[in-house]
Structures are given as C-alpha cells and as structure tokens.
Amino acid sequence: MTRANIIAIDGPAASGKSTVAERLAKELGYLFFDTGIMYRAVTLAALEQLHAVDDEAQVTQLAESVQIDVDPASVQDGRMCDVLLGGRDVTWLIRSAQVDANVSQVSAYPGVRQAMTVQQRRIGKRGSVVMVGRDIGTVVLPEADLKVYLDASVEERARRRYVENQERGRQSDYEEILASMKRRDAIDSSRAVAPLKPADDAVILNTDGLSIEEVVDRLRQLSQ
C-alpha cells in the first residue's frame, strides 16, 4: 500500500486537530498547515483596520489584499509556527478572545472563503501535506488520499481549551469558553458556504477519552 500523500483533517474547535496533525506531519516529514490561522489573521486585520467585522464587502476586500505568511517558529514559546500579518508577528494576537468571538462571522462570508480557499488549494496540491480545518475534505482538497473528521463533545473541547489557557498563564472562565464554543459550533455548522461537516468518505474519529498519543497512533495507521 502507498502512503497517503494529501491528508485532510477536519473537525470542530478544540477537537485536538492541530496538535495531532502537527505530530503526524512531523513523523511523515510532511508540511503541517492549519487553515484556521488564515481566517483568524483576516479577522484580526478587520478588527484592527475596520474596528468591526460587520461590513462584508470591506472584510472581503481586506481578505483579498491582506498578506498572511506562515513561517517556521522563530521563538520557543509554545508556538507551532510564526504567523505574520503584513510582515508583523501576530502569532498570539490571533488567539485572543476578541478574535475567537468574531472569527466565525468572518469565515462565513463567501468572498472571504473564496480568497482563502484559492491559497489553501495551491499549498495542498503540492502534496506531502497534512492540512487542517473545517472544509478541507469537503471543499479545499476533495481529492485528498485520507480524510479524517475528528470529533469530541463540546464539554470535553471546552475543558481542553481551559487547560490550554491555564498552561499558557491566561486567565479564563470555563463556562464562558463553553458558551463561546457552542456559539462558534452553531455558526460554523449552519453557514451556507462550506459548513462544518464530515466528507462522505471521511473516517470519523471521536477523541473523547483518548490521549493525544492514541489519536496520533490511529492516524498513523490510517495514513499507511
């Protein structure tokens, strides 16, 4: 059997996609690409430059012109990579509660998705890639050799995000995270364009109660 060349991993917020996908990519010597970063960077740009995300036409124009770069991590502070917006390091800014609260609205705009999808396809089609997001198996790379949909209960995902914040020394409230995650799930799953859902040919993996290592083991088996 040949090893999967293009691997698509989708799933809801904090399902553990990025952590396990990054490890798998490292093992395989593949590029790891987290597409959520791009929607977060556009959201940050809109909040900074437009002070709101409600004007769809303006946000779309911004998405079409903004320069987002993802480079290897230059600082050892827990980051997986450097995220640059117009050359400025915004790696942690794109993880703020304000971006969390607005990113689903921005990523529901069809013109924004179009602009991001074009760039993601170009990167994905080169192969030797593990690409992570919400619509990779359904829209961005439907030709992927392996499609996995990682799921977990919303309570488990909120708990993971809470622990992650604590580890980074960020104050947070579990109930607030849970409410924000439910809101985001609802918007991501119900939007008209590229809603969050498993591709028909995706392997669905529920990670409740599974360790990171166990999930990576399963992905490794699936990719062989």
Quick one: tokens of 78?
A: 């827990």
Indicate which single residue of 39, 109, 149, 162 sits in contact with ligand DC (rule: CB under 6 A): 39
Q: Which stretch binds ligand DC (CB under 6 A): 32-40, 69-77, 171-179, 208-216?
A: 32-40
How big is the chain, counted in residues? 224
Quick one: tokens of 11?
A: 């799933």
111 near ligand DC, judged by CB under 6 A: no
134 near ligand DC, judged by CB under 6 A: yes
Q: Which stretch binds ligand DC (CB under 6 A): 55-63, 129-137, 145-153, 173-181?
A: 129-137
Indicate which single residue of 16, 45, 70, 188 sits in contact with ligand DC (rule: CB under 6 A): 188
Q: How far is the CB of 86 from ligand DC (least distance, A)?
A: 20
Q: How far is the CB of 144 from ligand DC (least distance, A)?
A: 13
Give the count of residues interacting with ligand DC (CB under 6 A).
13
Place of tokens 């909040």: 47
160 near ligand DC, judged by CB under 6 A: no
13 near ligand DC, judged by CB under 6 A: yes
Comparison of 107 and 207: residue with beta carbon closer to ligand DC: 107
Indicate which single residue of 60, 91, 104, 138 sits in contact with ligand DC (rule: CB under 6 A): 104
Indicate which single residue of 9, 20, 35, 124 sits in contact with ligand DC (rule: CB under 6 A): 35
Q: Which stretch binds ligand DC (CB under 6 A): 20-28, 55-63, 102-110, 168-176?
A: 102-110
User: What region, left, alpha or beta, does residue 127 occupy, with left being phi > 0 and alpha being psi -120 to 50 degrees?
Assistant: left
Residue 165, number of CB atoms within 10 A of its CB:
17
Residue 163, number of CB atoms within 10 A of its CB:
12
> For residue 56, how many C-alpha atoms fall within 13 Å in the half-sphere facing its CB?
8
Indicate which single residue of 40, 147, 157, 160 sits in contact with ligand DC (rule: CB under 6 A): 40
15 near ligand DC, judged by CB under 6 A: no
Question: Which of 69, 65, 70 has the alpha carbon at shortest distance from 49?
Answer: 65
Please give the full DSSP string across 30-80, using - where no structure is assigned: PEEEETHHHHHHHHHHHHHHTSSS--HHHHHHHHHH--EEEEE-SS-SS-S
Give all strands of the β-sheet with 88-89 in edge-to-edge order: 68-72, 81-85, 88-89
Give contact residues for ligand DC (rule: CB under 6 A). Answer: 13, 35-36, 39-40, 103-104, 107, 133-135, 184, 188
